Every structure is written in C-alpha cells, then in structure tokens.
Structure 1
Amino acid sequence: MLLTQSQVSVAITSTIVVTFTVILFLSGYILQQRTVKDLQDAIKPRVPQAPPSLTVQTPFADSIQPSRMFGGSIGSQGRVAYQKFMRTEDTGTNVNWKRLAHVQLARTHHDVCNSIMVFGELHRLKSPARKVLLFPKSWAAEKEGKGAMSDPFMDSSRRLMRMAARRYGVELRPVDPVVESTKEGVSSTYSLASAYALTDFDRVLSIETPGLLLDASPFDAVLAFTEKTPFAMLQDTAAGDGVHSEDLFLMEPSKTEHAALSERIGSMPSFNDTRFPAAFPDPLLLASSDNDNTLIRSIGVLHEAKSDFNATAFLDKVAYLRFSDPKLPGPEYDVPWAMKREARPDNKDADWHWTKLYGEFAQKRMDICGLDLEGWHPE
C-alpha cells in the first residue's frame, strides 16, 4: 500500500509529537519524584547516632567536683563521661524519641523568647525529641485584661508561647513554684526541679540561655545515649573558658525522685537553681568537649583572644554558643554604644567575630520572636 506525501508528513509529525510528549512526561515524573523525596527527607526527623565512646567512664581524679558557680564543692564520687559527639545519622533508630524531651524553664517573661529561640533552632535542625516549655502556673490562671493590676508583659508572653506551640510543636506545661513566697513583693521560686514531675518522659535535657544553637545532634546524642542516672551536668572546668556546670542539666523524671527532691529543696535556705545540683550528692559529669567536638563554648573567651586567634576554629564543631559575657548584661539588651565599645575584645579578629555573633543573635531574636532588643536599664 502506497502512502501519499501528505500521509507520510502527518505520520512523521505525529511520531515526533508523541515522542516529545512522552519525554516531557517522563522528565516531569522524574522531577516530581525527586521533589517528593527531598520533601520527605526535609520533613522526617534526624536520627542521631550513638557515640561509640559514650560509655567510656573514668574515675574522677579528685574526691570532689569543684564549682565556681556554687561557691563550693559538689559530689563525692563523681565520674566523668568522655564522649565523642558524632554527627552521622545511620543508627539510633530503636530509640523511643517520644519519651525524650528538650526542656526550657521560663521563670520570668524575660526568659520566654530566649527559650523559644532554642526550640526554634531545634525545630530547624530537625531534632527528633519533643520540646517542652515550663512556665509559672499563675500565667495560665491570670485572666486577660487591661486593669491596673494586670501584668503588662503577659500578653506578649502568651502570644509567644502560642506561636511556639503552633510553629515549633512546643508543649506548654504550667508548673508550681518549688518555694512559695511568704513576703509581699517577693517572687516565688521556680526551678528545673519541676522537670522531675514530667513522668511521661524517660529523660529530659535543659541548656542554659541565652545562646545560639548551632548543632542539635550532640545534644540529642547526650539525651538519648547517656547511661542511666538521676542527674548529670557538665564537668566544670578551670580553664577560664566560661563553661560552667549549670550550662547543661540532664534529668530522669520520676515521682519518687520528685518527692525526695522537693523535700531536700525545702530544707535548703534561700534556694534557687544555682543550688539545684547540690541536691544530688554524686552526679554524673559530662565532659564538655573532646579532641574533635565541643558541646558548649562561651562567647566570653573572645575577650582573652591572643594574636594567634583563629576565628574559623572558634565555632568549628561547636554545638551551642553560650552568651555568658562578663562585660555585657546579655545579647537581648540594647546597651549604650559607649558600654558596648568598652566591652569589645582587644584582638581585632576576635572583635569582628564578637560583633558579628551579637548581630546574629539580634536577627534570630527578630526572626523567631518578632522582638527588637530590649532597653537596658541598670538598677
């Protein structure tokens, strides 16, 4: 059968159209599958690996753990857990992350944004553990209003907490004070000891604010894979690095421990959280760094920078930058320029890095909380 020239032309044109349509369809399908896979990878939680050296223990050299913050000694049989803070993520799938939580305590309205900034970064870094914000129960009980006796900061704190719950999946837990105020004008005392009442968790971890969370994996590894112990904290150092024991607390909630802890706290005069670790005679001490990684570093060490200061190494493999700066009240305050100029590090490179980090904190505060820096009003 002979085909006419027009029929051949139509056949060739149809073949070309069908071929390119199929190619276009297959290209779109492949691109769609890649996009779906990327979205699934972005949404699914990150699963940290158990650090291989986490269980390696060494006896504490001295009979006590020195502590600058507590003005004395803590522990009589302390052990230091030296651990590698690995970042690979191919193990740890058997951990029940719903039983683990990162916890922050907002004792005052001032603490709310600093705590939510930590939760915001945990969310961004895809921590698989739950996030819990403890706050005074009186905040939930107090009615909203504009009366003369209403708290002017209450509405802002409630707005921030609702935003954190909605955007970052933060669970809001009201708590009672551990020490009720008996004097008019004196605030009640709230403590991380209340975290021991969170018996729906096997273990909770709290880091001190304000700070910038740079890597959540090491904290997730500490939370999930540290040996069982009622209480663990950082090993205090004498290296002048600004890292203190109270920068990290790891706790195992239980009704028995909470009751016993409440009794011990009741026997401590003028209790506050600086004395909280003293309620545990033999805490597990977590080494704050190893040869490769650092859990917490203080921005205050930039004031001691020498001529060989390496700005890149300062934040390399650091999980959390704590703004414990001896020369400024905090990164959330807009201090006078003269005060900030006086506080700047002498080393030129350290000064540039110091200024940059304070700027990053201010920007994240705006991005996460929608708040400008607070005015500084020295007492």
Structure 2
Amino acid sequence: MVLLNSSTVSVVLSSGVVCMFTFLLFLSGYVLQQQSVRSIQHALRTPASTPAARSFIPKNGVQDDTYGLQGDGRGDFSGLKDGGGSGQSVLADLESDGGKAYWAGGEGKGGSYAYLQLLSTPDPSNICSAILFFKNLAASGTAVQDRLFMYPQDWDVMTNPSERVSTALSLLRSASSKYNIWLLPIDMSLATKSGYGPTDSRLLRLGQIQFLQYDSVLYLRTPGLLLDGKKLDRFLLSRPLPMKHDKNRRESYHNEAWSPMPLRPDRATPLPPAYLIAVNNMGDHVEARTHVPNMAIPEFRGLVTGPDGGGVDIDIDDAERRPAYVFFEQDDDGHVRWKGNPLFGTWRAQQHEVCEGLDLEGD
C-alpha cells in the first residue's frame, strides 16, 4: 500500500485538470476546424454541382472521337459532363488572396459578353503576355467587364515546376485578383486518355461549356498587345452577332460581319487570332457556334492584326489608325518573332512591368 502525501495528491489533481482542459480545447478546435472546412468546400462548390448548372449537361452520347465541331460551326458538347472545368482554381489560393476565386459561373458582372485568352502549355512569357492583356483591358475603360483565362487543370497540381513556371503562375494568381480575371481550369483528361496531346484548340473544345451564361465570348490569341480597349468593344459590339441559331433572325445564319469557322481540335493548326464563340442550351443538347470576323468589313480592317498591319496602313500613335489588338507570330521554338515587329520592344517593356522578377528570355 502506497501512501500519498498532500503535495502528491495536489500534483495529480492539477495534472488531471490540465489534461481535461487541454482535451476540451483540442476538441473545440477540431469542431471549429471542421466547420471551416465545410464552409470553404461549400464556397468553392463547382458550377456543375448545382442544380441550375447541372441542367445544362447534355444527356446524349459522345459526338465523335476527335472532339471536333461539324458543318457551319455548330456542334454539341455531348458527354462532357463535369469535365468542362472545375470552376475554381488552386491558383486562386485562399490564403494568398483572401478567398476570392473567379469562375465562369459567378456573379456575371458586366453582362453577357466576355473577352478570353487561353494557353495549353505553361510558357512563362505567354502567361505574362496574357496578364498584360488583362491589365491593359482593365485600364482601358472597356464596357465588357468579364475577363476569362482558360488553362489545363493539370497546372494546379504540377510537381516540381521550374522556377520560371512557378513564378509565372504565382503572378497569374495575384493578377486574377488585381485585374478581376476569372481563372478557368479545364479538365483535359477526356482528350489525353484518348491519346491526344494538349493544344489550345482542344483546351477550348473541352472548356467551351463554361460559356453558357454568355451571349458571345471573343477569344484573342496570346501573345499580343492590346492598344485600344474601347476599339475592341466596338469590334465586338458594333455589328449584330450570330449568337444562337434562329431562323427568324437573319444575322444568326447569314451574318455579313462574322463568318462561320468550325473548331477542329483534331488538326494541328492554331486558333484564329480572333474567334467568336457562342454556346447555347438547346434543351436536349448544347450548341456551340464559332465564327471569325470578316476583315473585308471597312470598320473591322486593321482592328485585330499582326504587327505588319496585314496590308493595312496602321499607326500606333494615331488614335484613328491604331489597331485595337496586335497578335504576334511565334517561331517553331515558341519564341515571339521580333524581326519586323515594331511593337516587340514596347510589349517586352510592359511585360517586365507586370511580371517583375520573371525571366522572360529563358528557354
């Protein structure tokens, strides 16, 4: 039999009280943590998980094995289900930007039109060029407020990316909050499991279902330089748009300003420099219509052009003759061609301003 003195009893009781309160503190912290996790999961719930978004998912089978659209630029997104993009992004890090994530199923500020840029490979210079585009767009006073950037969802889970890629993605994450860019990560497994590599056209093909809330989305190829955002608005909105096919609206099927051009992701050709996309819920399927501008229209000529003006006499210092957007051609290694490009120096200098600390010249 062991006799306990008063000091030993006091120590035992004190230890017991401390252990009990420690356990209660841990338990309460765990409960609060689980509540926070559930709240975050609810806030980040994808558009496809909501009843309204789920009603847009077509019910019939996969259209074909090439993910291509048919005929006059109309097609459907059969079989995409939730694969059209998760709707939120690891890039929009909760801790780094206060929990603000952008996605195409959001509040829809700015009406039913949007500007889009996309990349299928994480080239740091091209990512920076897209950031610069959205920065200039935000500063231009454009009437079209929605800005979309589409990329493969795999970017969010890359293991051991290079320092340049990691820096570029960090800058993109910060820019999404600063310039109100909606980041659209797209699940490309439907294509890659079928043996197809990532290309811009396949990324767009799998991601277009994100555009259901818009009347039209105007894609502009990056890399390039925005010179006049209000002119870009005029390019998009000055003429009737095709939008949904409607036999009672002539502009929907015979449009002088916009010519049908189907998206062919099965071909190794780049997307057009300017590409108009309209995606519509048709009840039993989803219709996608894709068009390019008719540059024979006088007010369109020279508004979206290469650095040589495409045969049109342009002057970047003249407000009347200045293009809205200039896209840059790239060589076989993916580098922007600087020869014959009078805007290369301006573009590079502005890139350095928005992507400070990023090595833009590296391979």
TM-score, scaled relative to structure 1: 0.49
Amino acid at match of 1:121: N
Are 1:134 and 1:175, in contact at CA under 8 Å, matched by a contact in 2?
A: yes
Q: Distance in 2 between matches of 1:375 and 1:315?
A: 37
Amino acid at match of 1:192: L
Are 1:234 and 1:248, in contact at CA under 8 Å, matched by a contact in 2?
A: no
**Residue 257 and residue 127 in structure 1: after superposition, are their counterparts in 2 closer, same or farther (change >3 A)?**
farther
- Give the equivalent residue in structure 2 for 1:250: 276
- Give the equivalent residue in structure 2 for 1:358: 344
The answer to which of 108-117 and 122-131 deviates more is: 108-117
**Residue 102 and residue 209 in structure 1: after superposition, are their counterparts in 2 closer, same or farther (change >3 A)?**
same
**Residue 220 and residue 257 in structure 1: after superposition, are their counterparts in 2 closer, same or farther (change >3 A)?**
farther
Amino acid at match of 2:347: F
* 1:317 corresponds to which of 293, 310, 322: 322
Q: Distance in 2 between matches of 1:325 and 1:313?
A: 27
1:25-174 mapped onto 2 (5 Å cutoff): 75=72, 97-110=110-123, 111-128=126-143, 129-140=145-156, 142=157, 149-152=159-162, 154-174=165-185
More helix by share: 1
* 1:177 corresponds to which of 188, 198, 201: 188
Q: Distance in 2 between matches of 1:309 and 1:249?
A: 22
Unmatched segments (≥5 aa) in structure 1: 1-72, 77-95, 144-148, 237-243, 262-278, 334-339, 345-353
CA deviation vs aligned residue, 1:21-68 (integer Å, no higher than 9, x gap):
xxxxxxxxxxxxxxxxxxxxxxxxxxxxxxxxxxxxxxxxxxxxxxxx
1:226-241 mapped onto 2 (5 Å cutoff): 226-230=240-244
- Give the equivalent residue in structure 1 for 2:203: 191
Amino acid at match of 1:175: I
* 1:217 corresponds to which of 230, 233, 236: 230
Unmatched segments (≥5 aa) in structure 2: 1-69, 74-108, 246-254, 261-269
* Offset, 1:372: 4.0
The answer to which of 118-127 and 170-179 deviates more is: 170-179
TM-score, scaled relative to structure 2: 0.51
Aligned residue pair count: 232
Amino acid at match of 1:114: S
Amino acid at match of 1:320: Y
Amino acid at match of 1:125: S
* Offset, 1:119: 0.8
Q: Distance in 1 between matches of 2:244 and 2:204?
A: 13
- Give the equivalent residue in structure 1 for 2:220: 207
Q: Distance in 2 between matches of 1:162 and 1:99?
A: 24
Amino acid at match of 1:227: L
* Offset, 1:222: 4.1
- Across the aligned residues of Structure 1 and Structure 2, the Cα RMSD in angstroms comes to 4.3
- Give the equivalent residue in structure 2 for 1:287: 294
Q: Which has the higher contact order (CA 8 A, sep 6+)?
A: 2
**Residue 170 and residue 214 in structure 1: after superposition, are their counterparts in 2 closer, same or farther (change >3 A)?**
same
* Offset, 1:360: 0.3
- Give the equivalent residue in structure 2 for 1:92: none
**Residue 314 and residue 234 in structure 1: after superposition, are their counterparts in 2 closer, same or farther (change >3 A)?**
farther
* 1:299 corresponds to which of 301, 307, 310: 307
Amino acid at match of 1:322: F
Amino acid at match of 1:375: G
**Residue 177 and residue 171 in structure 1: after superposition, are their counterparts in 2 closer, same or farther (change >3 A)?**
same
Q: Distance in 1 between matches of 2:283 and 2:231?
A: 26
* Offset, 1:284: 4.8
1:333-348 mapped onto 2 (5 Å cutoff): 343=339
* Offset, 1:174: 1.4
Percentage of pairs with the same residue? 20
- Give the equivalent residue in structure 1 for 2:354: 368
**Residue 151 and residue 359 in structure 1: after superposition, are their counterparts in 2 closer, same or farther (change >3 A)?**
same
Are 1:131 and 1:171, in contact at CA under 8 Å, matched by a contact in 2?
A: yes
* Offset, 1:74: 7.8
**Residue 315 and residue 330 in structure 1: after superposition, are their counterparts in 2 closer, same or farther (change >3 A)?**
farther
Q: Tell me, what secondary structure is at the counterpart of 2:219?
A: strand
Are 1:235 and 1:288, in contact at CA under 8 Å, matched by a contact in 2?
A: no
Are 2:220 and 2:275, in contact at CA under 8 Å, matched by a contact in 1?
A: yes
